[in-house]
Amino acid sequence: MFIKVNPEKCVGCEACLSACPYDAITMEGGVAVIGELCQACRACLTVCPEGAIVESGKAEATVDAGASGIMVFAEQRHGCLAGVAIELLGAARKIAGQIASRRGATCSVSAVLLGGGRDAADELICFGADRVYHATGPELDAFHDEACAEMLARAIDAAKPEIVLAGATAIGRSFLPRVAARLRTGLTADCTSLEMDENGVNLLQVRPAWGGNIMASILTPSRRPQMATVRPKVMKPIERVEGRQGEIINLPSDGLVVRAKVVEFIKEVTMNVNIAESDVIVAGGRGVGQKGFEMLFELAGLLGGAVGASRAAVDEGWISYGHQVGQTGKTVCPKLYIACGISGAVQHLVGMQSSDVIVAINKNPDAPIFNVATYGIVGDVAEVVPMLIRKLKESA
């Protein structure tokens, strides 16, 4: 066991019992005892009012002093750079700044581009990369896990970065684990915030866990590189600088093995709704009803936006999965998010709560969506939405 209760200090308040997500703590003779269900998640440490819960047996730090710099996997698909690649360069520059100021070390930012053209490599430099490792080859035209894993491992071997970041997209989440396993290092999935610790040594990787119920801050103290996949739309890109200087290095792509081979790609029109790119989203939940979605499309049309949905609405079959916002859908960060008939379950909130302005329309005044709303209207969507459409039309 790595988490222990100091029986001298435990007063038997049982606060840790309900804090433990794994049901690993029991009371024996008025004292908390941690059993073998313990996953060392440390949830109990933070709630114990007596400081009676301690950890022991932590891995010793053996950080590779030779590693430095931040590497971003610059995802491209069918020749187009993914938005998250640009966002990650912004995040990498921010982290590099923190390393420089807190540790007094210079820290460069490199990008790895697999497939795609020279223009994409130039673009990465304009958006903050000091160096771009670029590889091309037939195995890199479609997405092949084995080829991408091998190429990223080669780039890491060449540059020896201390941090490697990739988008938490279908592609990033599929092949980054292979790279992490090959390097025997840690990988933190689906991060929503990244920050260096106060010494500028370890990256604090924050991610939602437990279906979004809690946030966990994860460290990779003893291995390098520290690796993370990062949710699209949560990091801010830096301003594009035309003519910014950087170096493009060709990465040889010889000898790639592909045993799982893409023979065809079929684009799905319904998945192309691209709510993630929209500045305005009008989203509907169970409270909207099947018919109600028609008026949401009308409202979205008036505001120049797209239509999103809660999982409940998607599960009902009122709208396709491509519109789903939240933990198991898309993360969005529009200027305006109008939530209609959505209760505001945490799994929904994690996907939209960083929107600039949130409007909630719900007939239940106690719905949790109001806790995150900038403007709240308690009322029936069937009444409020048509009224809003009318008012907007009047003023147009």
Partner 1 sequence: MKIVVCVKQVPDTAEVKLDREKNTLIRDGVPSIINPYDRHAIEAALSIKEQAGGGTVTAISMGPPQAEAALREAIELGVDEGVLLTDRAFAGSDTLATSRALAAMISIISPDVIFCGKQAIDGDTAQVGPEVAEFLGIPHVAYVRKIVTVSDGAIRVERLMDDGYDVVDTSLPVLFTAVKELNTPRLPSLRGKMAAKKAVIKKITAADLSIPEGELGLSGSPTQVNRVFTPEARGGRKALSGSLEEQVSALAGELRAMSCA
**Residue ranges binding ligand FAD (CB under 6 A):** 211, 285-287, 310-313, 324-329, 341-343, 345, 347-348, 351, 362-364, 367, 380-382
How far are the Cα atoms of 31, 32, 46, 56 from residue 53, in angstroms, in the given order? 11, 9, 9, 10
Please give the Cα distance from 336 to 374 (Å, whole number): 10
Environment class of residue 56 by beta-carbon count within 10 Å: exposed (0-12), middle (13-18) or buried (19+)?
A: exposed
Residue 212 found at the interface with partner 1 (CB under 8 A): yes
**What does the alpha-carbon distance between residue 361 and residue 211 come to, in Å, rounded to a whole number?**
24
| Beta carbon of residue 353, minimum distance to ligand FAD (angstroms, whole number) | 12
Residue 222 interacting with partner 1 (CB under 8 A) = yes
> Measured from the CB atom, is 30 or 386 closer to partner 1?
386
61 sits near partner 1 (criterion: CB under 8 A):
no
Of 74, 79, 169, the closest CA to residue 124 belongs to 74
The answer to whether 65 contacts partner 1 (rule: CB under 8 A) is no
Pairing mode, strands 31-34 and 25-28: antiparallel
CB 234, min distance to ligand FAD, A? 15
CB atoms within 10 A of CB 162: 24
**Per-residue DSSP letters for 108-150?**
-EEEEEESS-HHHHHHHHHTT-SEEEEE--GGGTS--HHHHHH
The interface partner of residue 286, options being ligand FAD, partner 1, none and the CB cut-off 5 to 8 Å by kind, is ligand FAD
Q: Binding pattern to partner 1, positions 85-124, x when CB under 8 A? A: ----------------------------------------
Taking the C-alpha atoms of residue 349 and residue 331, their distance in angstroms, rounded to an integer, is: 9
Question: Among ligand FAD, partner 1, none, what does residue 19 contact (CB within 5–8 Å per kind)?
Answer: partner 1
Query: Residue 246 and residue 132: Cα distance in Å, rounded?
Result: 8
CB of 368 to ligand FAD, least distance (A): 8
The answer to whether the beta carbons of residues 262 and 146 sit under 8 Å apart is no
Q: Which among 354, 361, 284, 291 is positioned nearest to 323, based on CA atoms?
A: 284
φ/ψ of residue 259, rounded to 5 = -100, -20
Among 127, 143, 318, 337, binds partner 1 (CB under 8 A): 143
The neighbour count for residue 127, using CB atoms within 10 Å, is: 25
Amino acid letter, 27 = M
70 neighbors 128 (Cβ within 8 angstroms): no
Give the separation between CA 309 and CA 300, rounded to whole angstroms: 12
By CB under 8 A, which span of 33-41, 63-71, 119-127, 154-162 interacts with partner 1? 33-41
**Which residue among 6, 136, 174, 320 contacts partner 1 (CB under 8 A)?**
174
Give yes or no for residue 375 binding partner 1 (CB under 8 A): yes
Near partner 1 by CB under 8 A: residue from 106, 118, 262, 290 = 262
326 binds, among partner 1, ligand FAD, none (CB under 5 to 8 A by kind): ligand FAD
Of 132 and 171, CB closest to partner 1: 171
User: Binding partner of residue 313 among ligand FAD, partner 1, none, CB under 5 to 8 Å per kind?
Assistant: ligand FAD
CB of 362 to ligand FAD, least distance (A): 4
Quick one: 72 or 342, whose CB is closer to ligand FAD?
342
Of the candidates 29, 51, 59, 199, which one interacts with partner 1 according to CB under 8 A? 59
254 binds partner 1 (CB under 8 A): no
Pick the closer one to partner 1 by CB: 43 or 132.
Answer: 43
